[in-house]
Amino acid sequence: MRVFGIDPGSGRTGYGCVDSDGSRHQLVTFGVIAAAPGATFPEKLHKIHQQLSQLITTHRPDCVVIENLFHAKNARSALLLGHARGVAVLAAVEASLPIVEYTPAAIKLAIVGYGRAEKAQMQQMVKVLLGLDVIPEPHDAADALAIAICHLHSSTSMTARAERVAGRSTAVAGGRAMRSWRDYKPGTPLRRPAP
Catalytic, out of 7, 94, 133, 163: 7
Helix (H, G, I), strand (E, B) or coil at 157: coil
In the set 140, 143, 163, 183, the catalytic residue is: 140
- 140 carries an active-site annotation: yes
User: Is residue 118 annotated as a catalytic residue, yes or no?
Assistant: no
Sequence-distant (6+) residues with CB within 8 A of 135 are 123, 124, 126, 127, 142
- Residue 67 annotated to the active site: yes
Nearest-angstrom CA–CA distance, 129 and 169? 20
Calculated CA dihedral for residues 85, 9, 67, 17, nearest 10 degrees: 100
Alpha carbons 142 and 3: distance in angstroms, whole number: 14
Check 21, 43, 67, 118 and give the catalytic one. Answer: 67
User: What is d(CA 177, CA 194) in angstroms, rounded to the nearest whole number?
Assistant: 12
Q: From 46, 28, 27, select the one nearest 36 (Cα to Cα).
A: 46
Which residues are known to be catalytic?
7, 67, 140
